Amino acid sequence: MTILFRGAHIVDPGSNWDGLGDLLVENGRIAEVRKSLPPEKGWEIIDAAGLILTPGLIDMHVHLREPGREDEETIESGCRSAVVGGFSSVACMPNTDPVNDSETVTRFILEKARAAGTANVYPVGAISKGSRGEQLAEIGEMVKAGARAISDDGHPIMNAQLMRRAMEYASMFDIAVIDHCEDTYLAAAGSMNEGRASVRLGLSGMHSCAEDVQVARDVILAEVTGARVHIAHLSSARSLSMVSRAKEKSAPVTCEVTPHHLILTDEDIVDYDTNFKMYPPLRSRADRKALLAGLADGTIDAIASDHAPHNADEKMLDFQNAPFGILGLETTLPLAVTHLVRKKVIDWSRLVELLSRNPARILKLESKGSLKTGSDADITLIDPRISWTIERPKLRSRSRNTPFEGWKVYGRCVGTMVGGRWVFQELNVAR
């Protein structure tokens, strides 16, 4: 099976391509990218004029909720949400029920993903058993079964010795240790960022220092252990400057930010709407400004959605008691196009670096994140001209918890290909 994409604007920072070109897919792999490829008989031809063609996007931080909370999301619904949002691959966090702290759960996730047959799913294994922060989980067994990184996301590791051991041990597999940085004593029972807005709303705050002290610890431990450390959903200016300093010293530290921290601040929380409640919380304007700068100057390695589906009834609790987290798989790309690319914070090439190339590197997905010859034919096709409105009822996720309801956005995924096969395709509908 040979497919020729013609006339697309191809954006592939991995091969320094950012311009018009043709792309040939053969037997599930990228065969060639060239200015112009004359079609041959028997090829399927796709007219991609006016479209942006990128290596398949990779969301390296999602919660698929299965096993355990299938009312909120399943691997099948989460993957559907992913491919509609332009993501051909996702890395799913282990805070399911049971926690993915064993090869059994890792295999279960991979089997479910295979059965769903859409996005590639890369399980992230737990660092500690039950993510309880006490004993190391069987990291080697999980890696053998297919885990691509480890994290106790959602359950901050307060024990620095455990974190050090996890990093040392993980070095053996050359996997990233992904840390949700939150000092639980400092964060206490806070429900939003501590600052002017929390004082005004009378909500207990979590100061960004709760994140910063853990980032500082992790940077130090990365230097000491040499392990690859990836800071999840980094949200504060001070944390960013610590990552930046670590990078200057060539410490193996990377970081991701979420679209909501790049677009919203704590002053956007209106009417105690719990769709604005997530961890880390929306920060100050100064923090947001720093993140945008870090995006442009290269300090930030990835954009990840932290897709966190929650049952609507549970989100209906009061702000203090509602669960943390919002959806992201179907809104990340259009929000990034609208608020980052169109506003010239970054260009398309940098966006693809953040959403595909770097996540592939951090997760060691060698044949992904690029359109080089021989890479897997994971492709995302985006029509940047389409403007549309984010509407909760139209989301493919099983949950509805997005603060972006009613937002007008530009850019829409019109096709997602995984291994040379369409897993989502709306070329005719959209054009």
Partner 1 sequence: MPLNRRHLLGIEDLDPVEIELILKTGESFREISARPIKKVPALRGKTIINLFFEPSTRTRSSFEIAAKRLSADTVNFSHSSSSALKGETIIDTVKNLQSMAPDALVVRHPASGIPLVLSKHVKCCVINAGDGMHEHPTQALLDMMTIREHKQKLKGLKVAIIGDIRHSRVARSNIYGLTKMGAKVWLCGPPTLLPREFEQFDVRLTWDIREALEKADVAIMLRIQLERQGENFFPSVKEYFDRFGLDRDKLRLAKPDVLVMHPGPINRGVEISSEVADGEFSVILEQVANGIAVRMALLYLLLLPGASTQVVWD
**Residue with smaller CB distance to partner 1, 49 or 317:** 317
Cβ count near 144 (within 10 Å): 13
Binding mask 249-278 for partner 1 (x = CB under 8 A): ----------------------xx------
425 is an interface residue for partner 1 by CB under 8 A: no
**Exposure of 327 by Cβ count < 10 A (0-12 exposed, 13-18 middle, 19+ buried)?**
buried
Compute the least distance from the CB of residue 189 to partner 1, in Å: 10
- Please state whether 86 falls in left (phi above 0), alpha (psi between -120 and 50) or beta: left
Cα 89 to Cα 82: distance, rounded to the nearest angstrom: 8
Compute the least distance from the CB of residue 56 to partner 1, in Å: 39
**Residue with smaller CB distance to partner 1, 194 or 376:** 194
- Catalytic residue (choose from 22, 152, 301, 306): 306
**Residue with smaller CB distance to partner 1, 187 or 382:** 187
Cα 374 to Cα 68: distance, rounded to the nearest angstrom: 38
Of the ranges 44-52, 67-75, 109-117, 201-209, which one interacts with partner 1 (CB under 8 A)? 201-209
Report the greatest alpha carbon distance in the chain: 68
Output the six-digit token pair for 329. Answer: 């798989």
**Residue with smaller CB distance to partner 1, 130 or 323:** 323
Contacting residue, 125, 195, 252, 411, with partner 1 by CB under 8 A: 195
Of the ranges 134-142, 150-158, 192-200, 383-391, which one interacts with partner 1 (CB under 8 A)? 192-200
Per-residue b or e along 47-56, where b marks 16 or more CB atoms closer than 10 Å to that residue's CB: ebeebbbbbb
The H-or-E segment that residue 332 falls in is helix 332-336
Contacting residue, 35, 200, 285, 343, with partner 1 by CB under 8 A: 200
Per-residue b or e along 113-130, where b marks 16 or more CB atoms closer than 10 Å to that residue's CB: beebebbbbbbbbbbbee
Is 306 catalytic? The answer is yes
Compute the least distance from the CB of residue 196 to partner 1, in Å: 5
Binding mask 288-327 for partner 1 (x = CB under 8 A): -------------------------x--xxxxxxx-----
Q: Do 212 and 289 contact (CB within 8 A), yes or no?
A: no
**Residue with smaller CB distance to partner 1, 272 or 407:** 272
Compute the least distance from the CB of residue 237 to partner 1, in Å: 17
**Residue with smaller CB distance to partner 1, 257 or 322:** 322
Q: Do 262 and 331 contact (CB within 8 A), yes or no?
A: no
Three-class secondary structure assignment of 345-364: CCCHHHHHHHHHHHHHHHCC
Contacting residue, 88, 198, 299, 380, with partner 1 by CB under 8 A: 198
Contacting residue, 20, 31, 201, 386, with partner 1 by CB under 8 A: 201
Q: Do 192 and 205 contact (CB within 8 A), yes or no?
A: yes
Binding mask 342-381 for partner 1 (x = CB under 8 A): ----------------------------------------
Output the six-digit token pair for 22. Answer: 């043709």
**Residue with smaller CB distance to partner 1, 202 or 374:** 202
Cβ count near 387 (within 10 Å): 12
Give the N- to C-terminal CA distance of the chain in Å, as an integer: 25
Compute the least distance from the CB of residue 72 to partner 1, in Å: 16
Helix/strand/coil for 383: strand
422 is an interface residue for partner 1 by CB under 8 A: no
Size of the site for partner 1 (CB under 8 A): 20
**Residue with smaller CB distance to partner 1, 203 or 243:** 203
Contacting residue, 22, 183, 194, 301, with partner 1 by CB under 8 A: 194
Contacting residue, 19, 202, 374, 406, with partner 1 by CB under 8 A: 202
Instruction: Name the nearest CA neighbour of 301 among 378, 217, 357, 375.
Output: 357
Binding mask 72-111 for partner 1 (x = CB under 8 A): ----------------------------------------
Query: Could you give the angle at the alpha carbon of 292 between the alpha carbons of 288 and 296, nearest 5°?
Result: 165
Cα 174 to Cα 92: distance, rounded to the nearest angstrom: 18
406 is an interface residue for partner 1 by CB under 8 A: no
Compute the least distance from the CB of residue 320 to partner 1, in Å: 5
Q: Which residue has the tokens 């049952």?
A: 311
Which residues are designated catalytic?
Answer: 306
Binding site for partner 1 (CB under 8 A): 194-196, 198-204, 271-272, 313, 316-322
